[in-house]
Structure 1
Amino acid sequence: MSARDAILKRLRERSDGPLSAPECDFAVVTNRGWNQQERLERFERLIGSVHGEVIHTARTAWGDALAEVLHAKGVRRLALGRDHPVAAEARKMLSAGSVDLVDADRDIEAWQREQFDSVDAGLTSTRGAIAETGSLWLWPTPDEPRLISLVPPLHIAVLDADTLEDTFFDVVERHGWADGMPTNALLISGPSKTADIEQTLAYGVHGPRELVVLVRHAQEVP
């Protein structure tokens, strides 16, 4: 019998009975009780505190908001997917414009230099957001690889207002991560930032300098 097997045998044959898992109380990480408006306000305040920009738009008019952002930021080449409804709709709305639409569903080795050198922005969908921390959560796919949110100097993320959750625990529980945890989920809380030894915060050193979140509402935005 190996040492490992001997230890496990002693644990199984404990005189005071088998070990049982302790009861877990997750109340501290959930049950915030915010309504949708409170979640939106908290999310916008927190992501804005680290230079994230939030733009509210009606779901029926988000293409106009996207076009305005691209014009204001001087975007000439935009990387995006093809199959996701957000990407497909964006391609249709921008097809007659002056922005060059760059296919993101390619092997990175085929366009790595292009992505780093000449792409101005990346457009992605989001799976939702977390009000408590002001974070987006993305689940990258071959159609929307993670690099289009991590490499271009500008990341434009499309968020549906009704997909905000209170806490990260709520996201994990509601979307069943225990049964099918994503292999490559991303949590994004503002543009790329880092600090030196003197605690001076710098943006865009290792990723996007800017983050714009287009929050789509089912109703018209006042």
Structure 2
Amino acid sequence: MSTRDAILKRLRERTDGPLTAPESDFAVVTHRGWSAQERLERFERLITSVHGEVVHCREGDWTAALIEVLAAKGIKRLALGREHPVAAEARAALAEHEVALVDVDRDIEQWRREQFENVDAGLTSTRGGIAETGSLWLWPTPDEPRLISLVPPIHIAVLEAEGLEDTFFDVIERHDWAAGMPTNALLISGPSKTADIEQTLAYGVHGPRELVVLVRHSKEAA
């Protein structure tokens, strides 16, 4: 009998019965009781405090806000998916504009150099946001691989205003992460940043130097 089997055998044959999980109180990491407006204000305050940009727009005309951002930042080559409604709507809106749309549903080996050298920005949807930390959360897919939010110098993310949760715990619980999640979920709390030994903060060293969040409000909230 191996050491592992011996340990498991002793655990199974405990004289005082099988082990049970202790009761846990998650109150400290869960629901804060903020209103929708409070969540939105807190999210915006925190993400802009680390150089993130927030642009508010309506569900029906959010692509107009996207076009304004692209023009203001001189973006000529935009990487984006095809199947997600955010990507599909963006492609339709940009069909008549002088912005090259870069397909991302390709093997990375086929366009690694192009992605790192010739793409101005990446556009992604988000699954939601976290008010407590001013964070976005994304689940990468083959249609929206994680690199389009991690490599281009500018990341443009579309967030539904109603998709904000109070805390990270609330996200995990409400969206049932325990039932299944991708190989990696992305939590984004501003542009890429790092600090040297003197604790001098620098942005854009290992990823996007800019993050623009298009907060999309529903028609009902108009």
TM-score normalised according to structure 1 size = 0.97
Alignment match, 2:192: 192
Query: Aligned-pair distance for 1:192?
Result: 0.1
Determine if the alignment matches structure 1 residue 164 to structure 2 residue 153: no
Find the aligned partners of 1:53 and 1:194 in 2 and give their Cα distance. Answer: 18
Alignment match, 1:116: 116
Render the CA deviation track for 1:18-50: whole Å, top value 9, x for unaligned: 221111111111120011100000000000010
- Secondary structure of 1:141's counterpart equals coil
Alignment match, 2:141: 141
Which amino acid in 2 is paired with 1:163?
A: G
Alignment match, 2:54: 54
Query: Aligned-pair distance for 1:220?
Result: 8.3
Alignment match, 1:178: 178
Alignment match, 1:36: 36
Query: Aligned-pair distance for 1:11?
Result: 2.0
Instruction: Count matched residues.
Output: 222
Find the aligned partners of 1:140 and 1:153 in 2 and give their Cα distance. Answer: 18
Alignment match, 2:14: 14
Find the aligned partners of 1:25 and 1:217 in 2 and give their Cα distance. Answer: 34
Find the aligned partners of 1:166 and 1:182 in 2 and give their Cα distance. Answer: 22
Render the CA deviation track for 1:166-187: whole Å, top value 9, x for unaligned: 1111111111111112222100
Range that drifts further, 87-96 or 8-17: 8-17
Alignment match, 2:209: 209
- Secondary structure of 1:105's counterpart equals coil
Query: Aligned-pair distance for 1:60?
Result: 0.9
- Secondary structure of 1:178's counterpart equals helix
1:191 touches 1:208 (CA, 8 Å); kept in 2?
yes
Which amino acid in 2 is paired with 1:217?
A: H
Which amino acid in 2 is paired with 1:6?
A: A
Alignment match, 1:104: 104
Find the aligned partners of 1:165 and 1:201 in 2 and give their Cα distance. Answer: 28
Find the aligned partners of 1:10 and 1:125 in 2 and give their Cα distance. Answer: 50
Find the aligned partners of 1:121 and 1:197 in 2 and give their Cα distance. Answer: 30
Find the aligned partners of 1:5 and 1:181 in 2 and give their Cα distance. Answer: 31
Which amino acid in 2 is paired with 1:99?
A: V
- Secondary structure of 2:177's counterpart equals coil
TM-score normalised according to structure 2 size = 0.97
- Secondary structure of 1:15's counterpart equals coil
1:57 touches 1:221 (CA, 8 Å); kept in 2?
no
1:58 touches 1:220 (CA, 8 Å); kept in 2?
no
2:140 touches 2:182 (CA, 8 Å); kept in 1?
no
- Secondary structure of 2:86's counterpart equals helix
Cα gap change, 1:6 to 1:221, in 2 (>3 Å): closer
Render the CA deviation track for 1:60-86: whole Å, top value 9, x for unaligned: 111110000000000000000001000
Find the aligned partners of 1:187 and 1:3 in 2 and give their Cα distance. Answer: 39
Alignment match, 2:74: 74
Moved segments of 4+, more than 6 Å:
none
Range that drifts further, 201-210 or 179-188: 179-188
Which amino acid in 2 is paired with 1:188?
A: I
Render the CA deviation track for 1:154-175: whole Å, top value 9, x for unaligned: 0000001001111111111111
Alignment match, 1:23: 23
Render the CA deviation track for 1:130-149: whole Å, top value 9, x for unaligned: 00000000011111111000
